[in-house]
Amino acid sequence: MSQHGKKNVNEFDVIIIGGGITGAGTARDCALRGLDVLLIERNDIATGATGRNHGLLHSGARYAVTDQESAQECIRENMILRKVARHCVEETDGLFITLPEDDLAYQEKFAQACRSAGIGAEIIDPKEAIRMEPSVNPSIIGAVKVPDGSVDPFRLTSANITDAKLHGAKIMVYSELTGFIKDGNTVKGVRVHSHITGEDLEFYAPVTVNAGGIWGHRIAEMAGVTINMFPAKGALLIFGHRVNNVVLNRCRKPANADILVPGDTVCVIGTTSSHIPFDEVDNMKVTPDEVDLLLTEGAKLAPSLATTRILRAYAGVRPLVSADDDPSGRNISRGIVLLDHETRDGIKGFISITGGKLMTYRLMAEWTADAVCRKLGVDRKCQTMDIPLPGSKNEDIEVISKKIWGSAGTIRKATAGRHGDLTSRIPAGNRYDTSLVCECEEVSVGEVRYAMEELDVHNLVDLRRRTRVGMGTCQGELCACRAAGLISQAGNCAREGKKDLKHFLNERWKGIYPVGWGDALRESEYSQWIYTGVCGLEN
């Protein structure tokens, strides 16, 4: 359906550039409002900052003292996501702890600020906090309980994409913007190069949305407008298993490595913060100093981190935007920045949505879709605060597994945890489909097939984002070859399959070597013997 009487297959109501959580959320919101949507992404979904953060379902408490507005946004969105993104969210609660070296007086100020932002913050006895989260530093002198949680950004993005598609949106991954089609000062459409087919294509829409995250800087330039963005790198470490089941934060002004988030089978400490030049954005490396800093600070939150095996290190780039009246970048906003380039720059049919955070993606999408509708002259209300995402009907893992299988073993429960009520779509009818591909994260052949057939998976890295294949302890050592085999057989592309396998192992290695000691190095030595020694894949 089109709002404007669609004529051609390459005409849409709105084109969204960027398959991060903001683009995905905007595509879903627009599609739910009945718009004809095209989303283009030069890579896979959730490859930028979306998939490179803590996965923290902020309560907003972190911002309460410094930025009441952000805090309020966070807690509102937090409550909405618990409802509509149930299978992506884990309601763990969080603690803001005060260590002997911190100022205990800050705690009261903090709790006050939380309450005034509408965040249920409760000062609790440190002993109670230790009972609640046994891994916490036992020397804490203060603790505040807040409604933090964790959210899986890959799952969240994928669910938004799935729903957008269910509502008619066209999603094109591996399709890179090469230029804008402009008529004077009006953006009429986009030129796109498909990395899959090699084709160059053109698409048209009255409104184009730049949801490119940090890459939005360059996208804006291509459209002839300037956004002052500052890439801020944040490095994080993933530990081999869950040390904590409650989010741990330091109760002080936000600083380095002061959040430890339990997410799925692992936990994540972060972040550092450093400005980097734009040319490093596509190839970030975590330095030994960053690793050491994260560990040293992290062990203050949970001392056992000092002896817990680290799986990998990674870094994301926050798309920070400086206020328009401050090109120096000193006055940087972490809030949502929605720019209508018609009013701001005189470029019609072009909107940029940036800033913000994973937590507020839905609100960003709502504002953007509102702006799109205004431009299209359409009056449709946002529904994303009420309609659950696909997979997020109000049921828990055990209920879902029971419904589908009666009695379910670990593997099926793991699948249900990842796909929520969509699990019923995953083939499990025969004994091949229930065979395990990834033994660490318990991903079956059926789940891999489902991801390949329904979730726009083009390679092993995509598959990892949809299913957690290769995200476990072995980092692909056993499963990568199996999954590559399945993808190759499905697509009849063994040559590409082997290249993809090499690429995947390198992508994993990039995160492993910065923490390459102890058992991580043992595991790497084993993997390298298998894939080069036994398999000779290096040739």
Partner 1 sequence: MTEMKMQENNISENNFEQCIKCTVCTVYCPVVPVNPEYPGPKQAGPDGERLRLKKGIFFDQTLKYCLNCKRCEVACPSGVRIGDIIQAAKIRYGKSRPKLRDFMLASTDMMGGIATKVAPVVNATLKIKPVKQIMDGVLKIDHRRSFPEYSSQTFESWFRKNALRDQEKFDRHVAYFHGCYANYNYPQLGKDFVKVMNALGYGVRLLDGEKCCGVALVSNGMINQATRNARRNIKLMEGALSSCEAVLGTSSSCSFTIRDEYPHLLGVDNSSVRDRMELAVKFIYRLLESGKAKLEFRDDFKARIAYHVPCHMEKLGWGIFSARLVKMIPGVEFTMLDSNCCGIAGTYGFKKENYEVSQAIGKPLFDQIRAVDPDYVACDCETCKWQIEMSTGYKVMNPISILAAAIKGRD
Partner 2 sequence: MKFDSIIIGGGLSGLVCGLRLQKAGRKCAIISSGQSAMHFSSGYFDFLDRTPDGKTTKDLKEALGNLPEEHPYSKIGKERLTGYMGSVKEFFSGCGIKLGGDPFSNGYRITPTGNFKPTWLSLEDFSLLENESVPWKKVLIANIEGFLDFNTSFIAESLESRGTACRTSVIDIEEMQRLRRNPSEMRSANIARVLDRQECADKAVSQIKQQLQDEEAVLLPAVFGLRTPEVKDRLTKAIGREVFFVATMPPSVPGIRTQMRLKEEFEASGGVFLAGDTALSPELAGSRVMSIGTVNFGDIRLEADSYVLATGSFFSKGLSATPERIVENIFGLDIISDTQRERWYDTDFFNRQNYISYGIRTDSRMRCIKEGSTVENLYAAGSVLGGSNPLYEGSGAGTAIFTAMYVADSILSSVNTTL
Footprint on this chain of partner 1 (rule: CB under 8 A): 240-242, 262, 264-265, 288-289, 292, 295-296, 299, 306-310, 397-398, 409-410, 413-414, 436, 439-440, 442, 472-474, 477-478, 517-519, 522-523, 526
Nearest-angstrom CA–CA distance, 361 and 265: 24
Of 436, 454, 473, 499, the one binding partner 2 by CB under 8 A: 436
Does 488 contact partner 2 by CB under 8 A? yes
Q: Using DSSP, state whether 233 is helix, strand or coil.
A: strand
Least separation in angstroms between residue 133's CB and partner 1 is 13
Nearer to partner 2, 197 or 489 (CB): 489
- Select 116 or 430, whichever has its Cβ closest to partner 2: 430
Nearest Cα to Cα of residue 255 among 99, 370, 474: 99
Give the number of other CB atoms < 10 A from CB of residue 81: 23
Q: How far is the CB of 524 from partner 2 (least distance, A)?
A: 8
Shortest reach from residue 274's CB to partner 1, in Å = 17
Helix (H, G, I), strand (E, B) or coil at 408: coil
Nearest CA among 349, 33, 324 for reference residue 210: 349
- Return the number of the residue (276 or 295) whose C-beta is nearest partner 1: 295
Query: Restricting to residues 499-518, which ones interact with partner 2 according to CB under 8 A?
Result: 501-502, 505-506, 508-510, 513, 516-518
C-beta pairs of 399-403 under 8 Å, 24+ apart in sequence = none
CB atoms within 10 A of CB 53: 23
531 binds, among partner 2, partner 1, none (CB under 5 to 8 A by kind): partner 2
Q: Diameter of the chain by CA atoms?
A: 68
Calculate the CA dihedral of residues 126, 128, 132, 138 and round it to 10 degrees: 40
Q: Based on the shown chain and the rule CB under 8 A, indicate whether residue 204 belongs to the binding site for partner 2.
A: no
Query: Taking the complex as a whole, how short is the minimal distance between the CB of residue 507 and partner 1, in angstroms?
Result: 18
Task: State the binding string over 276-315 for partner 2 (x if CB under 8 A, else -).
Answer: ---------x--x---x-----------------------
**Near partner 2 by CB under 8 A: residue from 497, 499, 500, 511:** 497
Distance CA 135, CA 308 (A): 12
In whole angstroms, the minimum distance from the beta carbon of 295 to partner 2 comes to 8
Applying CB under 8 A, among 90, 286, 482, 511 the residue interacting with partner 2 is 482
According to the binding rule CB under 8 A, does residue 528 interact with partner 2? Answer: yes
Contact yes or no for 18/217 (Cβ under 8 A): no
Q: How many residues bind partner 2 (CB under 8 A)?
A: 54
Is 145 in contact with 173 (CB distance < 8 Å)? Answer: no
Q: Helix, strand or coil for residue 89?
A: strand
Q: Is 445 among the residues that bind partner 2 (CB under 8 A)?
A: yes
Residues 151/21, Cβ–Cβ less than 8 Å: no
Q: Which two tokens stand for residue 156?
A: 């969240």
Hey, how many other C-beta atoms are within 10 angstroms of the C-beta on 346? 11
Phi, psi of 391, rounded to the nearest 5 degrees: 100, -15
Q: Which residues bind partner 2 (CB under 8 A)?
A: 285, 288, 292, 409, 411, 431-432, 434-437, 439, 444-445, 478, 481-482, 484-486, 488-489, 492, 494-495, 497-498, 501-502, 505-506, 508-510, 513, 516-518, 521-522, 525-526, 528-539
